[in-house]
Amino acid sequence: MKAASTSSGEDRSPGRIPARFGHTELPEEQHAALRKAKKFEWITIAFLTVSTAMIYLVLGNSQAVKAAWVEDVLSLLPPFSFLIAARVIRKQPSEEHPYGFHRAVGIAHVVASIALVVMGAYLIVDSGLGLVTGEHPTIGGFDFFGQTIWLGWIMIGAMLLTAGPPVYLGHVKMKLAKTLHDKVLYADAAMNKADWMTALAAAVGVAGIGIGWWWTDAVAALVISASILHDGVRNTRAAITALMDKHARTYDDSEPHPVGGQIDEYLEGLDWVETAKSRIRDEGHVFHVESFVVPAGQVMPTLERLEAARKACIDMDWKVQDMVIIPVSQLPSEYLPGIPSSGGER
C-alpha cells in the first residue's frame, strides 16, 4: 500500500495534522484545496437555502419559475454529497474494505445524478403537458401603498438576483475539482456555472406572460427541464462507468488520465524491463494501478528493483493510491485489451 511521500512538498512542520484520503496523505496543494472546497460548498448551501426560500415566496403560477426553483433545490444535492463523501473517505482501510472507502465519492455522484434525471424527466412531462393543453398561466399583483404592483416584476428581479453568485461559485469550484480530481465537485461546479441560463430562461418566461405570450413560460420551463435532464444523464453515465472500473480518466471525464502513459514510459525505460503495460482504475480520488512488466531476457528482477520501481511510480502522482508491479513472461492480452495475443487470433 502507498506510503506517505514528501516528494510533493507536504508540510511536515510540528503541530500540523496531515489531511488524508484514507491512508493517502495529501500534498499541501491538495490539502489547501480540500479546505477551500469544503468552505465553498458550505457557502453554496447557505446561498441556495436563501435563494430557494426567496423564489418560493414569489413562485406564482409560472412553470418556468417553478422549474428554476426545483433546479435550485436539486443543486443542494452535489454539495451535500461532496461533504458527506469527503468525511467517509477519511476512514482507514479495514479487513472488510481493503481498498478503503474512496468509492463513497462514486456513490455520491450516482445518487445526485439519478435525482437530476428523475426530476428533469418529470419537469419535461409537466411543462410539455402545459404547452400541449394550452394552459394559460396568470400572474397577479399586490397592493403597495395604494399602487398595484405586478408580481411578475418581483419574480424577474428574484431570478436575476440569484443568477450571478452561482457562476462565481462554479468558477472557483471548477479549479478545485481539477486539483482534487473530484468528479462530484466538478459536476456541482458545472451546474453552478450554467445557473445563469436557468435564471434568464425563467425571467423570459415570466416576461412573456406579462405581454400576453403565454406559451413562452412553458417553453422556458422546457428549456430549464432539458438542462436538468442533460446534467443528470451526463453525470449518471460518467458515475456508473467509473463504478464499473472504466480506465481512469481526467476529473472532467474528457480523456484518459495521463499518469498511465507516464508509468508505462518510465517502466519501459528501465534496463531490466523489455516492455510494460498498466491498467488503472479510479477509486474516487485516487488510483489503483496494476503494471505488468516483461523482464528483459526473461530474467526475474530482484525484490529491490521491483520495490524501487514501485516507489518511483507512486511518487509520480499523489493519486497513485496502490501500486503493484507484476512480472510476466508476456503481456496478458485477456487483461489488457489492445495487446496482441501470441497465440494468434481468438
Nearest to 194 by CA among 306, 314, 301, 71: 71
Can you say how many angstroms the Cα of residue 285 is from the centroid of all Cα atoms in its chain?
Answer: 10
Look at residue 194 and tell me if it is in a domain: yes
The rounded mean pLDDT for the chain is 83
**37 and 162 inside one domain:** yes
Say if strands 141-144 and 24-25 run parallel, antiparallel, or are unpaired: unpaired
CATH no. for residue 155? 1.20.1510.10
**232 and 291 inside one domain:** no
**273 and 211 inside one domain:** no
- Please say which residue of 180, 208, 243 terminates a domain: 243
**264 and 238 inside one domain:** no
Are the C-beta atoms of 181 and 137 separated by less than 8 Å? no
CA 71/CA 249 separation, integer angstroms: 28
Q: What angle do CA 290, 293, 295 make, to 5 degrees?
A: 155
**58 and 197 inside one domain:** yes
**289 and 208 inside one domain:** no
pLDDT of 246 reads: 84
Q: For 15-51, how does the pLDDT look when each residue is reduced to its tens digit (9 = 90+)?
A: 444 566 666 778 889 889 999 999 999 999 999 999 9
Look at residue 196 and tell me if it is in a domain: yes
- Map residue 141 onto helix, strand or coil: strand
pLDDT of 19 reads: 62
**Helix or strand holding residue 306 (H, E):** helix 303-314
Cell of 17: 495534522
13 has pLDDT over 60: no
Burial of 112 (0-12, 13-18, 19+ CB in 10 A): buried
**135 and 178 inside one domain:** yes
pLDDT (mean) for 304-316: 94
204 has pLDDT over 80: yes
Burial call 177-193: b when 16+ CB within 10 Å, e when fewer: bbbbbbbbbbbbbbbbb
pLDDT of 136 reads: 73
Nearest to 66 by CA among 117, 118, 126: 126
- C-alpha distances in angstroms, 225 versus 122, 131, 184, 200, 220? 8, 13, 21, 14, 9
CATH no. for residue 312? 3.30.70.1350
293 has pLDDT over 70: yes
**231 and 263 inside one domain:** no
DSSP letter string, 145-197: TTEEEEHHHHHHHHHHHTTHHHHHHHHHHHHHHHHHT-HHHHHHHHHHHTHHH
Look at residue 250 and tell me if it is in a domain: no
Q: For 107-124, how does the pLDDT look when each residue is reduced to its tens digit (9 = 90+)?
A: 888 887 888 888 888 888
Are the C-beta atoms of 194 and 75 separated by less than 8 Å? no
- Looking at the DSSP bridge assignments, the partners of residue 281 are 247, 288
Say if strands 141-144 and 320-327 run parallel, antiparallel, or are unpaired: unpaired
pLDDT of 49 reads: 93
pLDDT of 268 reads: 95
Q: For 130-188, how does the pLDDT look when each residue is reduced to its tens digit (9 = 90+)?
A: 778 777 777 777 667 777 777 878 888 888 888 889 889 999 999 999 999 988 898 88
194 has pLDDT over 60: yes
pLDDT of 310 reads: 94
**305 and 210 inside one domain:** no
pLDDT (mean) for 251-273: 92
**222 and 266 inside one domain:** no
Look at residue 339 and tell me if it is in a domain: no
E strand spans, 188-343: 273-282, 287-295, 320-327
pLDDT of 275 reads: 93
**236 and 277 inside one domain:** no
CB atoms within 10 A of CB 308: 13
Look at residue 128 and tell me if it is in a domain: yes
pLDDT > 90: percent of the chain: 28
Which domain range does residue 211 map to?
Answer: 20-243
Nearest to 31 by CA among 21, 40, 46, 45: 21
**61 and 154 inside one domain:** yes
Look at residue 340 and tell me if it is in a domain: no
CA 15/CA 13 separation, integer angstroms: 6
Burial of 135 (0-12, 13-18, 19+ CB in 10 A): middle
- Map residue 320 onto helix, strand or coil: strand
Look at residue 6 and tell me if it is in a domain: no
Look at residue 103 and tell me if it is in a domain: yes
pLDDT (mean) for 227-250: 85
Are the C-beta atoms of 327 and 301 separated by less than 8 Å? yes
- Map residue 277 onto helix, strand or coil: strand
Total number of domains in the chain? 2
